[in-house]
Chains A and B, each alone.
Chain A
Amino acid sequence: MEFLNTIDKKVKEGRVEGVDKVTGKGKFAAEYTVENVCYAVLVGANIPAGKITSFNLDQAKQVSGVLDILTHLHRPEVPGFATEELIKSSRFGLPIFHTDQVYFKGQPIALVIADTLEDATYSASLVEVQYAATPFRVDFDAARETVGLTEAGKERGAMAAWANAPHTVEEEYNIKSQVHNPMEMHATIAQWTANDRLVLHDKNQGVNNVQNVFANLLKIPKENIEVFSEFVGGGFGSGLRVWPHALAAILGAKQVNRPVKLMLTRPQMFAGTGYRPASWQKIKIGADASGKFQGIFHQAKNATSLYENFNDGITRVTRLIYDFENLKAEAAIVPLNLSAPTWMRGPGDCTGDFAIESAIDELSYKLGIDPVELRLKNLAIATNPETKLPWSTNFLNECVMQGAERINWSERKSQPGQLVDGDWSTGYGMAVGAWNAGRGNASAAIKMERDGTITVQTAMTDIGTGTGTGMVNIAHDTTGIPKEKIKIELGHSSLPPAPSQGGSNGLSSVSGAVVAVSLALKLKLAEFAASQNEIYKTAKEEEILLSENGLSFQKNNQHFISYADIWSKNGLTMVEVEASSGPGTERQKYSFCSSAAHFCKLKVNTKTGKVKLERMICIADGGKIVNDQAAANQMSGAAVGGIGMTLMEEQQIDTRLGGLIADDLAGYHFAVNADAPIIEVGFIGKPDPNINPTGAKGLGEVGIIGTAPAIANAIYNAIGKRFRDLPITPDKILLG
């Protein structure tokens, strides 16, 4: 295994991989130089539903440089797709090139492979397909009426108990579909190095997951599949699944017996790598005169595909944040002729939080109670309302108080439309969000050289969250070895296994492994040192101190033995240790959550409908912050994502022809630099003593969850118009 991008730059400030990223040296999936590579381009179905009746490939094949064209009639067999049962149990979703059924417009149905990208692209444009079209449905708003709701989560209390609540809000909320759109388009270079050996350079959020999926589909040993994903150009959930195009590249490489590179086009990203599904929600919330919540009834439906079920878990957040007696939740999924949705940053919770936090804001006006006070009165700070387990730590109340202070909440007017300056009206809004803080089993290894340089290794990817830098900090804190002597290797399948990076679990999981392996290194060195000094025979982890050059006992330079000495005396070339770490019985004693409060101040132009964010403040409880700068970046970036979700992001669907409208970055808008203010971030910073050895709880999701309702609530405070549908575009503001 050769690392093209071994991260060993000695940069004191910034991330370990910083130099590779600012110089263009870091290699993303499609950028590796692979000998004899050829190019593949996918062809998408041109109808939303039906059957392929024939292909006419004559013209496409006349293009010079075309090597082959794969279709369901002409491709290598995927053993995992041999029967309908296998297809279903593979949980792969779309059985690409193994069906003549068309489930959505843009579904990949052919793959052109050619010597150059230009040849393949041109040839793909000449592929002709005949279909037998059938009726379709892509209109979520129309289709959802036909699907009934079923119970979601544990019901508690009784609906009857709060039937006569003195103050209620009962409203519906609709959110359009949003698309992850990481800046790096999904890409795979597939190379068969033997009949049953595969090398993949692939964009994904978990190399071990990719291995497992393809081992199962291709029926080859997992160890035979090598996956490189050292640099991943963003994910936001789109890389947690393995998508059909990656399998297409693998089949293409098999067919032409050459390495195949396939990078999706941006339009293909909209129908090929998931999205946050469109949703409908209805919330009924009741409170007594003091503002104490008596009950919440939360109903939700989300879109899914016809070939795969996806439930976004929209009502979960309602069950998590507040303490109240009576809860009922219902959910449903609505199959449409669209590609499969998937988890997108703050999955389910972003959607559910917009509804519940908007409803609570609305309730605050009815009650005449300040929204901050109303939150503080009802937050479930001590116990997880659903599991009844105590939170290990939960400082959401402190997040709320700090945020209120920082934005000068007292300047907010309790009635809307009070701060007017010409065409601009100013408003303040806030919302809270929380996320179940998870942890998975992860492994890490350390290789130590004679000069004291260590390389910490894990298969986990770093999708931009700063995992590698966090690992350096943790290894430094645990061992004492200076940061300049710590290198990181990650994102490769032969490294010690780790879960996918997603759901804010990445650092929480791998940090335990890095601590464990750092301690293992100490014991291993002490074991070698014991032959020179008996004191190390019984030395405990905390008594062994490592420095740049050697180890000491209890305090620096006491019983010092240099690494060089140990290496010479024991004839060593390298010291290697590996360790694993994962959740344990603490999960039976406690519940775990990360949380955040969002506050915003904005101006609405009542003539143009433009919303201008002046301040966005996000205060988070993510446990211990392992790397301040990257963590703040993570939070502010998530808030920028939330601004897009609130004000502009919408995957428009052509209900007449069944396709996507404006499936590129000119038609689908997310927040550009000028759309976001400088985001202000704060952390509570108290370590969670039970979640993992570092006390870090994870931040990826909570940065976005409360953003949308905070903005919508501020818009109401500014102009007195309540928007319950996202995105809140200027036309809606003017007409609303």
Chain B
Amino acid sequence: MSKESTYSRRAFLKASGAFVMLASIPYSLKAMYVDVDKLTVVPKQALSITVSINKKSYSVPADTRTTLLDLLREELHLTGAKKGCDHGQCGACTVHVDGERVLSCLTLSAMIQGKEVTTIEGLADGEKLHPMQQAFIECDGFQCGYCTPGQIMSAVACVKEGHTGSVAEIKEFMSGNLCRCGAYNGIVQSIQKVANA
């Protein structure tokens, strides 16, 4: 936080202090003071969101500032989507919204009203793993596993989008999903395996 903020309460108090010394506080000034407070400290607003997540319908009150990622992780305890940067720079939070890969950290909850969200928790068919999940296990497409749900959600979309023509193409279309363990060998192999199945 900067030391001096143009709209800070402190600055306002200093200015208003001069008035206070001159006369007792007029009501209008008091009212203005309250208004300024309202202006600088924004009150919380919630809205009710109805959304389908992994084919289950949810109706949840959400803070207007809440991202889809935080809604999933903190409110619904669906922690499969990971927070790796919260800025859309790493891909760990990738989920599908209406069938397309989306960065849930850059998606406000308010934007998913009425949509169909699929997270890593909804990818398997009951106990039967999705072929991409199975491929990631067989090809060892991970180490620590933190970026893995995002990698898999992107990988499923990558195959669906048809970007699996070559190793170079897979690498290009999977480069929005960072893996600091560097398990890229296995990630590429997993996608090849599913694409060629």
Contacts and interface: CB of A to CB of B under 8 A. Distances in A.
B110 interface: no
Interface string B79-100: 1111111110110100000000
A200 B94 CA distance: 28
A640 B182 contact: yes
A467 to B, nearest CB: 11
Contacts of A11: 137
A588 interface: no
Contacts of B33: none
A490 to B, nearest CB: 14
Interface string B114-130: 00000111011000010
Contact of A636 (B74, B175, B182): B182
Contacts of B124: 23
Contact of B74 (A117, A127, A235): A117
A674 B175 contact: yes
Contact of B143 (A118, A122, A634, A673): A634
Contacts of B86: 265-266
B43 A638 contact: no
Contacts of B84: 183-185, 266, 665
Nearest to A61: B41
Interface in B167-192: 167-168, 170-172, 174-188
Given A46-B1, A236-B180, A21 B63 contact: no
Interface in A612-655: 629-630, 632-634, 636-641
A633 B143 contact: yes
Nearest to A465: B143
Interface in B92-114: 92
A56 B2 CA distance: 12
The interface centre, meaning the residue of A19, A30, A130, A184 with most chain B CB atoms within 10 A of its CB, is A184
Nearest to B79: A31
A184 B129 contact: no
A17 B140 CA distance: 11
B65 interface: yes
A670 B178 contact: yes
Contacts of A130: 3
Contacts of B144: 182-184, 231-235, 463-464
Contact of B3 (A125, A128, A633, A634): A128
Nearest to B123: A23
Interface stretch (A62-70, A279-287, A508-516, A525-533): A62-70
Contact of B180 (A181, A674, A676, A678): A181
A13 B171 contact: no
Given A27-B79, A633-B143, A665-B89, A679 B3 contact: no
Contact of B175 (A24, A630, A672): A672
Interface string A362-374: 0000000000000
Where chain B touches its partner, the secondary structure class is loop
Nearest to A18: B137
A619 to B, nearest CB: 16
Contact of A266 (B85, B142, B175, B181): B85
A17 B142 CA distance: 11
Nearest to B135: A22
A363 to B, nearest CB: 31
Contacts of B180: 180-183, 234, 236, 641, 670
Given A65-B44, A182-B144, A128 B152 contact: no
B9 interface: yes
A389 interface: no
B85 to A, nearest CB: 4
A126 B1 contact: yes
A129 interface: yes
Interface in A144-189: 180-185
Interface in B1-43: 1-3, 5, 8-10, 37, 40-43
B146 A13 contact: no
A15 interface: yes
Given A128-B5, A183-B90, A671-B182, A234 B40 contact: no
A466 B143 contact: yes
A131 interface: yes
A585 interface: no
A265 B1 CA distance: 16
A30 B82 CA distance: 10
A116 interface: yes
B164 interface: no
A664 interface: yes
Given A24-B119, A674-B171, A17 B145 contact: yes
Contacts of A43: 1
Contacts of A18: 136-137
A637 B143 contact: yes
B77 interface: yes
B138 A13 contact: yes
B147 interface: yes
Contacts of A26: 145
A641 B182 CA distance: 7
A85 interface: no
Given A22-B133, A234-B146, A673-B171, A59 B8 contact: yes
The interface centre, meaning the residue of B85, B129, B182 with most chain A CB atoms within 10 A of its CB, is B182
Contact of B140 (A14, A64, A181, A233): A14
A194 interface: no
Contact of A676 (B40, B121, B123, B184): B184
Contacts of B66: 118
A700 B1 CA distance: 40
A666 interface: yes
A701 B89 CA distance: 27
B76 to A, nearest CB: 11
Interface in B133-169: 133-134, 136-138, 140, 142-149, 152, 167-168
Given A23-B124, A117-B74, A122-B42, 16 more contacts: A21-B142, A24-B149, A31-B79, A59-B9, A119-B44, A183-B82, A233-B144, A263-B83, A266-B89, A466-B143, A632-B185, A636-B185, A637-B181, A640-B184, A670-B178, A673-B174
22 contacts: A21-B148, A22-B136, A33-B77, A63-B41, A64-B44, A118-B63, A118-B65, A126-B40, A128-B8, A129-B3, A183-B84, A183-B90, A183-B144, A183-B179, A183-B180, A185-B84, A266-B84, A637-B183, A638-B182, A641-B182, A674-B171, A676-B182
A-B interface, 10 closest residue pairs, ranked by CB to CB distance from nearest: A24-B80, A640-B182, A233-B146, A464-B144, A21-B145, A464-B143, A637-B182, A14-B137, A31-B79, A665-B89
Interface of B: 1-3, 5, 8-10, 37, 40-44, 63, 65-66, 70, 73-74, 77-87, 89-90, 92, 119-121, 123-124, 129, 133-134, 136-138, 140, 142-149, 152, 167-168, 170-172, 174-188
